[in-house]
Amino acid sequence: MSKTLFIKTWGCQMNVYDSARMADVLAPLGYRPVEEPDGADMVILNTCHIREKAAEKVFSELGRLRILKDEKATAGNGRMILAVAGCVAQAEGEEIVARAPQVDMVFGPQTYHTLPEMVAKATRATGSVLNTDFPAESKFDHLPEESNSQGVSAFLAVQEGCDKFCTFCVVPYTRGAEFSRPAAQIVLEAKRLVAGGTREISLLGQNVNAWHGDGPDGSTWGLGRLIRELAEIDGLARIRYTTSHPRDMDDDLIRAHAEVPQLMPYLHLPVQAGSDRILAAMNRKHTADDYRRVVDRLRAVNPDLALSGDFIVGFPGESDADFAATLKLVSDVGYAQAYTFKYSPRPGTPAALEGSQVAEEVKEARLAALQQLIAAQQAAFNHGFVGRTIPVLFDRVGRRDGQLHGRSPWMQSVHAVADERLLGRIVEVRIDEARPNSLGGTVVTGEHISTPQGMRRVPSLEASA
């Protein structure tokens, strides 16, 4: 019998990937994804623990879901199995079980391949099933093949976990130790995605460029080598990877940015702060100049490369001079876009115990100043595209009538009036308009198909609607 499954996902792209794989694990049990929790046979909250209020959000969501669960039971429509997954489950599993008796299953990011057993147990038992171990086996060896097409643009997890232990961050605790999937397994999954219609793959990892694996020749491969291998897959037009750590940008990966045409000229490379004193306190193990040098090396091989980053303001002990160094670094590097956060003390992390916490108003003011600088850089970056014709991969229907949404090589959202037949294709679009967070344009001509030999023009396909 068909059952309905609603998954709500918070947090990073890895969580989005995990949610899709949970649906794959549950598909053979008869669960089919739906868009609303009302009346669903199973609801999974896939949670994020990275900044404060994460747990509170989960508990308030659980309050709402308890009502839906009761309504379903009272109406005689069976039981709603309620689950909390992801990084809050990993960090606070026992508290969830204690505080929210309506929850049937609590499991962390490394155990969702055992969902069939957990569901069987939860169906029999009345208490909650808690599964937040870090199992010795890799979930990737037990996950079924993707049951649904993952769309034009898909995520593929290649690396997980983190051994870097930045002093502000919960990820090493919630995701566990660094782990790289075997190259052959990744290539197989990529081929299946492409066979299912995917044209762009984003390789995911908490430290994706720390990925390493054994190649068929017995040598150890790094991410650059893996990307070259994936570029051989016919029909895979675009490759991206995220998130990188500056310390793991090796020469081969940098060279791949010059040599692999499918590797997109856009890189998310977080630095967090511009002051060496703060970087040391964060345990980043690199200086601001180390980061500048990595950026210089990347731009030397590919001047077209656009950068994105993550920044934390108000880390404990951050002075005005430290913050000025962050602004200086942002000015020096020049970002196409970036994510900015106020430092948020996380339970169990060393920085949370520091006595020198920065006042909330100071964090607010620094965040506003940094955001203003980055917004100006982003606006200038986007404005530079007006009048240019660029290849856009259309990935979904746009919000306005007759429009499609696509992505530029530099990750910008591009909207253009276009026939739905162009979904999944890379099309030349002339950019007419730059908005703060997106571009607007007109489809001009034919299609670009990228092959391992590079980009080549194919005969025109009637485009404009």
| Dist. CA 1–CA 14, nearest whole Å | 30
Piece of 32-40, 43-51, 95-103, 179-187 that binds ligand F3S (CB under 6 A): 43-51
Among 11, 213, 265, 398, binds ligand F3S (CB under 6 A): 11
Q: Which of ligand F3S, ligand SF4, ligand SAH, none does residue 165 bind (CB under 5 to 8 Å by kind)? A: ligand SF4
d(CA 329, CA 268): 15
Annotated ligand binding at 166? The verdict is: yes
Least spacing, CB of residue 114 vs ligand SF4, in Å: 25
Q: Which residues pair with 448 in a beta bridge?
A: 457
How far from 196 is each of 254, 303, 408, 426, CA to CA, in Å?
A: 30, 34, 22, 17
Q: Is 385 annotated as a binding residue?
A: no
Decide if 11 contacts 87 (C-beta within 8 A).
Answer: yes
Q: CA–CA separation, 361 vs 30, rounded Å?
A: 51
Q: Which residues contact 263 (CB under 8 A, 6 or more apart)?
A: 227, 231, 239, 240, 256, 257
Per-residue x/- marks for ligand F3S, 172-191, CB under 6 A?
--xx----------------
Q: How far is the CB of 257 from ligand SF4 (least distance, A)?
A: 21
| 241 annotated ligand binder | no
CB nearer ligand SAH, residue 346 or residue 405: 346
For the CB of residue 364, give the shortest distance to ligand SAH in the complex, in Å.
14
Minimum gap (Å) between residue 282 Cβ and ligand SF4 = 8
Q: Helix (H, G, I), strand (E, B), or coil: what is residue 452?
A: coil
Q: Which residues, including other chains, have CB under 8 Å from residue 206's CB and lie 6 or more apart?
A: 14, 159, 160, 161, 162, 171, 175, 178, 243
Residues of this chain, 197-226, that bind ligand SAH according to CB under 6 A: 206-207
Determine which residue in the list 65, 103, 106, 171 makes contact with ligand SAH, applying CB under 6 A: 171
Beta strands 413-417 and 426-434, pairing class: unpaired
User: Contact region for ligand F3S (CB under 6 A) — 12-20, 95-103, 227-235, 376-384?
Assistant: 12-20
* Residue where the block lists tokens 């702060």: 273
Does 14 contact ligand F3S by CB under 6 A?
A: yes
The annotation status of 261 as a binding-site residue, yes or no, is no
- Angle among Cα 253, 257, 259 to the nearest 5 degrees reads 100
- Pick the piece of the chain touching ligand F3S (CB under 6 A) from 8-16, 58-66, 128-136, 294-302: 8-16
Q: Is 349 annotated as a binding residue?
A: no
Which residues have C-beta within 8 Å of that of residue 358, sequence separation ≥ 6?
Answer: 314, 315, 316, 317, 318, 343
48 binds ligand F3S (CB under 6 A): yes
What is d(CA 304, CA 421) in angstroms, rounded to the nearest whole number? 30
Of 310 and 433, nearer to ligand SF4 (C-beta) is 310
Where in 405-444 is the site for ligand F3S (CB under 6 A)?
none
From the list ligand F3S, ligand SAH, ligand SF4, none, pick the one residue 312 interacts with, judged by a Cβ distance below 5 to 8 Å according to partner type: ligand SAH
Q: Among 3, 32, 51, 66, which residue interacts with ligand SAH (rule: CB under 6 A)?
A: 51
Is residue 50 part of the contact set for ligand SAH (CB under 6 A)?
yes
**Tokens at residue 135, please?**
């199992």
Annotation-wise, does 372 bind a ligand?
no
Amino acid in position 163: D
User: Which of the listed partners (ligand F3S, ligand SF4, ligand SAH, none) does 96 bind, with a CB threshold of 5 to 8 Å by partner kind?
Assistant: none
Instruction: Tell me which amino acid residue 103 is.
Output: V
Output the CA–CA distances (angstroms, integers) from residue 409 to 183, 262, 289, in the order listed: 25, 10, 27
Numbered residues of the known binding site for [4Fe-4S] cluster: 12, 48, 87, 162, 166, 169
Site residues (vs ligand F3S, CB under 6 A): 11-12, 14-15, 48-50, 86-87, 170-171, 174-175
Binding site for ligand SAH (CB under 6 A): 12, 50-51, 168-169, 171, 206-207, 243, 270, 272, 310, 312, 341, 343-344, 346
